[in-house]
Amino acid sequence: MIQSMTGYGKSIVAFNGKKIHAEVKSLNSKAFDLTTRIASIYREKEMDVRQILQQKLERGKVDFVLWVEKDETSAACLFNLPLVKAYKQQIELMQQELGLPAPDDWYATLLRLPDVFAHTDMEELSDEEWLQARCAVEEAADELVAFRQQEGKALAAKFQEKIDNIAALLASIEPYEKERTEKIRQRIVDALEQNLGVDYDKNRLEQEMIYYIEKLDISEEKQRLANHLRYFVETMHEGHGQGKKLGFIAQEMGREINTTGSKSNLAEMQNLVVKMKDELEQIKEQVLNVM
């Protein structure tokens, strides 16, 4: 069954007084386009993370975040006093130059500025911690794949509905084909007899009518469109990774519908063609999100 390229997954793993968070989300894209934000302690493993995600997700615009939440005992830090002092001097200088009032709460103002805390611990990544972090990455990716599969089922149901609608509209054209032929013949005869008032060879007229009506025949277009509809459904059930193929089939369906419309010179038939085009456009919009 097809999969959607849209999805979200997350995982949280506990290790030595900290929580390792992995979050990943994806949108549709023609290729695998990965953006990562990884905590500094795991930065050396970025290539491993990329390989895991590419193997599991295959395609899509992917945004991945790996970060650490520490408890109070492991998050000990000191103020970066020289930097805080420099910030305060700059703010006071800005007050003088621009005539601005002093902050109401210096503590709140200074503590919000970047890098005012200096962590005392310079951590090194252990094999045990990386094993847990790797598990978090894989679990988040697996959760995203499960999300994609669920979305894929919804897409498949929507595609089936639209395919059935087009097939029903295609079948509705048939009753108008005989009526169209008779109307074309009658219009030409009326033009010859009433408007032009000329005598004509009825046998020759029948021959010309057959040639003219063959030009407007849509039997082949109907057959090819029916084949494309069937092939689209079969391709949906071949498994994931069929998004581009489904897009190509939808393009071929559009060609047959357009040709049918150009040959249809009966208002009722043209109305049905317009409805088929509307159903097909909805398929084309959604097929862009298929793996």
* pLDDT of the chain, 291 residues: tens digit per residue: 899 999 999 999 999 888 999 999 999 998 999 999 999 899 999 999 999 999 999 999 999 999 988 765 555 556 778 888 898 898 888 888 888 888 888 888 887 787 776 654 556 889 999 999 999 999 999 999 999 999 999 999 999 999 999 999 999 988 887 777 666 666 666 666 665 556 666 666 666 666 666 667 788 899 999 999 999 999 999 877 889 999 999 999 999 999 998 887 778 889 999 999 999 999 999 999 998
Query: What does the alpha-carbon distance between residue 209 and residue 161 come to, in Å, rounded to a whole number?
Result: 39
- 8 A C-beta contact, residue 64 and residue 35: yes
User: What are the b/e assignments for 11-31, b being 16+ CB within 10 Å?
Assistant: bebebeebebbbbbbbebeee
Domain ranges of the chain: 7-74+125-149, 77-118, 152-287
Residue 133's identity, in one-letter code, is: A
Q: Which fold has domain 7-74+125-149?
A: Ribosomal Protein S5; domain 2 (3.30.230)
